[in-house]
Every structure is written in C-alpha cells, then in structure tokens.
Structure 1
Amino acid sequence: MVDTASVDGGDIEVLHRLEPVDLAVVRGRERDVEALHASFARDVECRLEMPTEQRSLATDPGTNGSDTAESLYEYQWDKQDQGIRDVHESYTRGEGTRVAVIDGGVAATHPALEHAVDEDLSKNFTEDEYGVPGPYAGGHGTHVAGIVAASDDGNGRVVGTAPDAEIVDCRVFSPIHDPDQFVFLGDVLAAIVHCVEHDVDVANLSLGAYLRRREEGVGRFWGRSIQRTTTYATREGVVLTHACGNWGGDLTKNKDYVDTSMSAGGLTVSATGPVGYMWGNDGLEEPVYRPASYTNYGVSAVDLAAPGGDSVADDHQSDMVLNCLAEPEFDDDGTYLGASYEYGYLAGTSMASPQAAGAAALIRSVAPGSNANQVKNTLQRTATVPTEYGKQYYGSGYLDTLAAVESVR
C-alpha cells in the first residue's frame, strides 16, 4: 500500500487505485516503491474469522425428510426476536437499499438469494480468475448475505432482515481449496472505496476485527490508511458493520491485538445466543440476548450486540443461526464445478454483524435521507443493555430492529 495515487510508470504494477483517499495498492520491488518518495507499507494478511460452529441440515427440521418448500421461519429465533415479520408487514422490507457483503463470495443462484445479487456491481478484489458472484471461498459469505437479504418469497425458505435490499458481492477471499486462505488488507480497503463509488448504503465486514500485533506487524501507516478510508466511506453515507471476533477476549486489555475493525463511524458488533431454543422445555434456559460463549468484548471496543448464535451442547444446534448455505466444489486442478445449496446453522460474530447491517438497511429504506452517523445513532439509541450481564458485552446495548425502525417512521 502506497500513500499516493500517482504511481504510473516504471516497474510498479498498480493493483487498486484508491484515488478518493490518495492510496494505491501496488506490486513492485521495495527499491522501486521507495523511489516514489511516498509513505508505504507491506500489505497485511488477515485470516478469515470463521464461525465457531457450522452444521448443515441433511433434511429440514420437522419435515420428516420432505423436500416441500415450507418456511423454516419457526427455527429462526433471531428474526423472531428482532420482530422482522412485524417490520416487513408494517414498515419496509428494505426496498431501495444496497448492502455490500465484503467476504468470500455470495451464491447468487441460491433459491433464497437469486432475487438479490447485483452481478454488475459485484467485484472480485483478489487476483484469482473465478470472478463474481459465487461462493468461491466457501459458504460463509452466502450465510452472511442470507442473514441480510434472504427472501421467503418464491423458492426461499428462510428470511433475511431486509429481503428487498440489493446485495453487492465484494469478494476479498480466494477459493476454499487454497490451504492458506487469507485476505489482504489492501483489498478490503479497495472494496470499501468501491462501495462508496457505487452508492452502497451498508457494507458488512464479517472478517474479525482484530489482528495479532506482534505476528502481523500492523503499524501506524495502516492505522492511518484504515482511518482515512473508513472516514471517507462514513462521510459519503456508507454504514460499516464489523464482526468483533470469536476468541472470547477482552479487547480493551489485551495489548497483543490492534484494532483494524475499520469502525471509524461504523459499528463493531458482538454476538449473543440463547440456550434451550426448541428443546421442548417450557422456556429458555438462557435468553437470546445472553452473550455468546465465544464472543470478544470490551467497553470501548464493542458498539452493539446482536444475535450470532451459540451452542453449549453438542446436540442442540437450534441455538445457532439458521440461514442459507452454499458448498463449492472444485476438481483436482482447482476448476470450479459449481456449488450445492442448502440451509444450515452457523454461530459467530460473523452472524451478528449482518443482523446490524440488515437493520441499518431497513432504517435507510424508511429514512433515505439519513446519513451514516444518523443510522448508527438510531441503532444505538434504541438498543438496551440487559441488567443480567455486563456492559462490556454490549456497547450501547442489544440490537432492537423493530424499535429502531419504528423510531424513524
């Protein structure tokens, strides 16, 4: 990454030109980059913050193996808790909004998402040749997109928070068959600039918010570059939502980590999940706003908590988040053969962040003139901190999508 957009000529190859923030992602020998007489730093590799749990449905729960396209909404405790059906019936389904999923690729032909993905605006920010849209780096991005915009109209069986929102697939991870799957931070910043250039309302980054300081060597240059890019995006109206990570750490005390959550003006989201949903008991053992066992936390690190799911018992997947999945297939040469589509459970802060992204899209749908800070403030103002648990897990509080939408009507 170079602190200038004027890098034409010579032996420098420009990979991404981020002219609005005077940055460029380039490839070249260090001496050639030094000859530009500009600040620069080597790109940083970020590992994908995978969900803590993943379980697929061999058959749909409660259908006895039937392939009938019945709704799976009764298993979506997250959408029930957030009053999503009430929002759709009384206010909006997210129409007129655009949400970017900066991730590993979205399965645009999944039955629950085939209405949503804008192929023309979607972009591959890696150097592989697989293109977009597609679940090339696994099912993670498809599940995230489903939480935002899955539609139960037609062939879809689950519902997203904002099913009429348009999805932009910004792929920053390469295929899952690559054993060293990672993302370059420069590609992520390029994706954020792309969102601004194409009038995206909300950009979700379920990437994991923190890097190991000693291992990754993130320094002052990258801090300035992140701040510059995210401030630009926020100023131009893009709401940024971020997963805060899954290793159960206090991010305000652990000095081995540096915040790269790109949360200047955005929302860093922790995860919650119930214990005992659909166990057959009279009530939940733990409520849906209970902090997930794996979630990172920290009073000054977390802005908002949202449903991310959990599973404290091996045989109780219903406490996780149900939405659409896609499993890519490759031959031995790495040729993409297609993907199988299904519905399944994941749990992680990766699932909590798009809950906030979908809620932000709903607010922008009913209040299209609101800026990014106003959307963020609405989500935080209408959230509440449960008295049973510490504030360090919640920031401003636990997401209340219905209350947030009602407050701007």
Structure 2
Amino acid sequence: MSASLRVAAAAVALGVGVSFGLGAAPAAADRPPAVDPGRLPAGDPAAPPEPTEVGSNAVCTTVATGGDGPTIPDAQRSLGLDRAWEFSRGAGQLVAVIDTGVTRNDRLPDMIAGGDFVANSGDGADDCDAHGTFVAGLIAATRVDGQGFSGVAPEARILTIRQTSKMYQKEGANRNKAPDDLPDGYGNLGTMASAIVRAADMGATVINVSEVWCGTHNVDDGAIGAALQYAVEVKNAVPVVAAGNSDTCKTANTVIDPLDPTADPWSKTEMNVSPARWDDYVLAVGSIDANGAPSKFTVAGPWLSVAAPGENMVSLNPRGAGTAVGTVNQQGQTNPISGTSFATPLVSGVVALVRARFPEMSAKEVMKRIQATAHAPAEGWNQYIGYGSVDPMAALTAEVTGPLPPKRPSPAAQVQLAVPAPAPAPDNTARNVSLIAAGVVGFLFVLGMLASFPIRRRMGVREDI
C-alpha cells in the first residue's frame, strides 16, 4: 500500500495514519472534479484487496473507563437531547459506522456486522483500536436507567464495517521489521470507497466516516466521489464525515484571508481532505469545545458544513461493560476521547433523528435541514464550523425555506442608520407662569411695604425701635 494513500483517523485518541508521501505543495487545493460514475467500486465482497496480517507487536488499545452514573456528559447536555427525544429517537434508522470495527455491546442491540476490509476473515464486529466502538456508542447507545450517557439516537441500529486498523498490515511485512517496530496500519481510499458502497447497498440511511485522508498534494480520490454520489443520489443515504485534526493534517488552511476577504475560499486552501472535500455529497463536521468555540485541533476548510462538541467525550467501553473516557498510551497517560472523529457521530445521530421524523425527505433535503437549522456564527458561515453548531431541536421542529447561502462568510454590510429627529423644544409654560406669578406677588409686596411708610409716620410710629 502506498504511503500516500494511507488513511489517517481524524482523532486525538487514535492516530491510524502513518507517514504521508507528500509532494510539492500546490498553490491551492482543487475543488473535487466532476464525479465519474465509472469509478464506482464494488461493495462486495467485503474483504481486504490483498492478504493482511496482524503486526507482530500489535497490542489492543488500553481503555480508560469512567463516565458511569447519572451525570449527563457535557456534550450530550449541550445538544438538549431530552427535548429532542420528545419528537424522535431515531427508530427505524440504520447508521453505518465505517471505522476500526465495533465491539458487540448490550447497549447496541441488533447491531449488524457488515463486513471487514482489513482482516482476511472478519465481519466488522471486532475493534482492537477502540475508535469505532467509541463512535458507535455516541451515535446509538441505548438509554439505561440511572445512566446519564446515551447515544444521540438511542433507537437507531448500527451497521459496522471495518475499513481501517493500526494493528494490521500487508501480509509479509513482519519479515522486514525490527522486533520493536509497530505495525504499518491498514486501510486506504480504495477500501473506504468500497465500504461506503457496501453500507449504501445494505440499506444504511446514515453513513458515518470518522477518518480522513489529508495532504498538500492532489490525490486521486475519484472512487470516493463516485461512492458518495451513489450513496446520496441512488441509495438515498446521508454521509457524515470528519473534517480532520491538526495532529495528522499538519498543514493549516487559511481559507479566509483577512487581507483578501473576498477571495474564493478554495484559492486559499493548500491541503486537501477527503472525503470531506466532496461537500456536495457529505456533511463535513468540525469540532467545538465546551464554550462553543472551534476546537484548537479542528482543521479548517471550504467544505465545512456544521460542527458539534468533540472534546472530552464519554462513550461505550469496547473492552466490556460500562463506559469509557479515553485511551491509555504506553506511558500510562490517558488521552481523552477528543477529535473531529467524535463530533461527527453526534451529527450522524441528529441526522438519524431527522430521518426518523421526516421519512419522506431525501438525503439532500436532510443535509440542507441540518445546516439551515444550526447555530450560525456571526458571519453566517466560517471555515471551522461551517453553518454552525448542530441543533437537534431546531432540526426536528423548525420550518426551513429557501436555499442555503454559499459557503463563505457574509460580507460586512454598510447600513445608514436613520438620523434621529431633533428633540422637541421643552414646554416651559408651567414654569413661566409660576415665575411670573411669583414676580407679581413679590412686586405687590414691595409696593405694599413702600405705601405703608407715610401712614406709619402719621401715626407716630418710630422706625428705630
């Protein structure tokens, strides 16, 4: 597998990606080309395109448990799910998780194992990396009495398709490795495209892809475009994909240049992110923190659709019962469940809620509704959170009319404020009458005093007493 085609999981908690074969950076990232339906891959059989093996030093990810109890996680609370669940809980929706596999769990009842593009013989219901189970739990973990955590769409079902794993590699790679070398990892854009087609063919109404390819050179991802178009326009599924994290997508996209604010955002974008860049056919999701600001790790791009909380999450434990709050590295440090990988399933859950409430809506109509009802930033759209933070309640209840504005900030507008009318002259009539009356009384008093002097003299009144 070429290093330039390896997939990087868009998460702090899991870095599936390995080194990229980067060429010279282009002046700007290219808009995706017109979709070529002839590039559509087969979704069957669900098997790696070549023999694979588990790396000789592969050790399943250690999980940090926690998050049990009645406390509702902050991300879940911020979405106002208790009110949204009065209208929909995602019943009847099948959400595909194209990821590292999903471990079976009592809180993911009736999960469908859709296949494995990583292991030679697997069904997708094995998750040594932990990433896919975290994602699935955030989408559809059922509610449990006394437990604050649950998925966004607790009555939806999960379809798991394993497409990538850092524990696997091409068969024979172990022979050329030193004893301490880690596995190469496995999964590429080809297997991702096939997994998307397979999910669509198996009836998924929502397809969650919490992994990305990113690089500063142009990549041949025509199969991804064909798979996404097929999923949306032929199979009526809604793909929801991660925007990527700065730890694996290391080149910063400017997108909006303050020195050239009216420029085409694509002309200021140096790094491509796939499948997010196919924004006609996906909801590309960024991450926000507890204060609603873009997470420091979320990758900017002209393809951003919406955002959701993506930091310090709680989800299902892939190693057993209960919940988890992170993974533990080789130094014993806990890495929280944070990343655009984990903002993405929250949006997938909201899509499942909307699809259950409005089954007559097409995939594109649902995508429009999610974006139109988000909490918009001041400029209407920006390169980190798109049209804003997803709002489940509004997505389920608001009236949506008219087209979406283009994906660029609204220009500053000059508005001539009305000149205020001059204040009316004060009415001083009462004061003037009072002053005149007081003056007249005073004047009469003085006259009276002066007139009394001659009378007092005639009566012999001495003035010096």
TM-score by length of 1: 0.69
| 1:50 maps onto 2:11 in alignment | yes
Distance 1:267 1:251 in 2: 21
Instruction: Tell me how far 1:254 sits from its aligned partner.
Output: 4.2
The 5 A counterparts of 1:122-161 are 122-136=114-128, 138-153=129-144, 158-161=149-152
Question: Which of 164, 174, 198 pairs up with 1:194?
Answer: 198
Q: How many residues align?
A: 313
Deviations 1:80-124 (A, max 9, x none): 111111122x11211011100000011112x432x15123xx211
Q: Which residue of 2 aligns with 1:244?
A: 243
State the AA in 2 paired with 1:71. P
Instruction: List aligned pairs for 1:10-409, cutoff 5 A.
Output: 44-51=5-12, 57-58=64-65, 60=67, 70-73=69-72, 76-88=73-85, 90-109=86-105, 111-113=106-108, 115-119=109-113, 122-136=114-128, 138-153=129-144, 158-174=149-165, 176=167, 179-208=183-212, 210-214=213-217, 218-219=219-220, 222=221, 224-235=222-233, 236-247=235-246, 249-250=252-253, 252=255, 253-257=268-272, 259-261=274-276, 262-274=278-290, 287=291, 289-298=292-301, 300-309=302-311, 320-327=312-319, 342-344=323-325, 345-387=336-378, 391-407=382-398
User: What does the per-residue CA deviation read over 1:330-354, in whole Å, with 9 as the maximum and x for residues that have no partner?
Assistant: xxxxxxxxx6764214010001111
Q: CA separation in 2, counterparts of 1:228 and 1:177?
A: 27
**What one-letter code is carried by the residue in structure 2 that aligns with 1:93?**
R
Task: Show structure 2 runs of 5+ residues with no match.
Answer: 15-60, 170-182, 256-267, 326-335, 401-465
CA contact (8 A) 1:363 1:408 kept: no
Provide the C-alpha distance between the structure 1 equivalents of 2:110 and 2:146, rounded to a whole number of angstroms: 13
Does the C-alpha gap of structure 1 residues 42 and 391 become closer, same or farther in structure 2, counting only changes over 3 Å?
closer
SS at structure 2 position matched to 1:169: strand
Q: Is the 8 A contact 1:125 1:187 kept in 2?
A: yes
Shift of the 304–171 alpha-carbon distance from structure 1 to 2, 3 Å rule, reads same
Indicate conservation of the 8 Å contact 1:269/1:349, yes or no: yes
* Greater mean deviation of Cα atoms: 384-393 or 154-163: 384-393
TM value normalised by structure 2: 0.61
Distance 1:52 1:141 in 2: 11
Cα deviation, residue 396, structure 1: 1.4
* 1:260-298 Cα shifts (integer Å, max 9, x gaps): 324432110100011xxxxxxxxxxxx2x1111111113
Alpha carbons of structure 1 residues 258 and 406: separation in structure 2 relative to 1, 3 Å: closer
- Report the secondary structure of 1:354's partner residue: helix
Find the aligned partners of 2:280 and 2:147 in 1 and give their Cα distance. 35
Give per-residue Cα distances to partners, 1:134-170, cap 9 Å, x unaligned: 213x111011101100112369662010011010001
Paired with 2:143 and 2:186, the residues of 1 have a C-alpha distance of 33
CA deviations over 1:297-336 (Å, ceiling 9, x no partner): 13x2211111111xxxxxxxxxx11111324xxxxxxxxx
- What letter is aligned with 1:211? C
Q: Distance in 2 between matches of 1:163 and 1:195?
A: 20
Give the CA deviation at 1:388. Answer: 9.7
Alpha-carbon distance between aligned partners in 1 of 2:66 and 2:351, rounded to the nearest angstrom: 33
Which protein is bigger by CA-based radius of gyration?
A: 2
Where do 5+ consecutive residues of structure 1 fail to align? 1-26, 28-40, 61-68, 275-286, 310-319, 328-338
Structure with greater proportional strand content: 1
Aligned-pair CA distance for 1:175:
5.9
- Letter of the structure 1 residue corresponding to residue 135 of structure 2: V
1-structure distance, mates of 2:146, 2:190: 38
SS in 2 for 1:326: coil
Identity of aligned residues (%): 26
Contact 1:149 1:163 in 2 (8 A): yes
Where 1:161 maps in the other structure, the secondary structure is coil
2:10–2:243 contact (8 Å) kept in structure 1: no
Distance 1:360 1:370 in 2: 11
Partner of 2:21 in structure 1? none
CA 56–155 in structure 1, closer or farther in 2 if over 3 Å, else same: farther
In 1, Cα distance between the equivalents of 2:78 and 2:308? 10
Task: Say whether the 8 Å CA contact 2:66–2:323 is kept in structure 1.
Answer: no
Instruction: State the Cα RMSD in Å.
Output: 3.0
Q: 8 Å contact 2:253–2:270 — kept in the other structure?
A: no
